[in-house]
């Protein structure tokens, strides 16, 4: 598993935890930073995971508006928590990280959705992110 794939999963874990537990994202990030500091093998993925979480936090309003626009018939509250977090991670990569091709961001999110969410989540995530990528001109 590549460092970026691990970082996406770590970012997903942090966003999911903050969402489900109702915790401040800063507290979740601080706890994860403490764990990463004590485990050198986590350090490679930590920096990008932190960049993703910070990016999602900084652009959350824009990202959520796009997700709601393209998730026809679905509100953010109605989506599975994992799907919501995955959409935020991949949408940030599509919109704000020129180093990651949109197709890679989408593929990674779809694979994580298949692994961690419902049977229909892969298709749902793929459809929403495909529309966001079209919107972004990616």
Residue 11: the pLDDT is 96
What's the sign of the alpha-carbon dihedral 61, 72, 117, 122?
A: negative
Q: What tens digit of pLDDT does each residue of 3-59 get?
A: 889 999 999 999 999 999 999 999 999 988 888 777 777 777 888 999 999 999 999
Domains and their CATH numbers in the chain:
3-136 (1.10.940.10)
User: Euclidean distance between the first and final Cα of the chain, in Å?
Assistant: 25
Q: What is the pLDDT of residues 71-94, one digit of tens each?
A: 988 899 999 999 999 999 999 999
pLDDT of residue 21: 93
C-alpha 41 chain-centroid distance: 22
Indicate yes or no: pTM above 0.85: yes
What DSSP state is assigned to residue 59? T
Whole-number Å distance between alpha carbons of 6 and 127: 23
């Amino acid at each position: 598993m590549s460092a970026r794939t691990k970082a996406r999963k770590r970012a997903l874990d942090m966003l999911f935890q903050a969402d489900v537990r109702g915790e401040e994202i800063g507290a979740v990030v601080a706890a994860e930073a403490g764990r990463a500091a004590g485990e050198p093998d986590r350090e490679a993925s930590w920096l990008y995971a932190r960049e993703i979480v910070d990016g999602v936090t900084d652009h959350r309003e824009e990202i959520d508006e796009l997700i709601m626009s393209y998730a026809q018939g679905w509100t953010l509250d109605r989506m599975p928590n994992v799907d919501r977090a995955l959409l935020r991670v991949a949408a940030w990569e599509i919109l704000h990280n020129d180093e990651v091709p949109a197709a890679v961001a989408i593929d990674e999110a779809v694979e994580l959705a298949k692994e961690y969410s419902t049977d229909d989540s892969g298709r749902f995530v793929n459809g929403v992110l495909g529309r966001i990528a079209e919107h972004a001109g990616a």
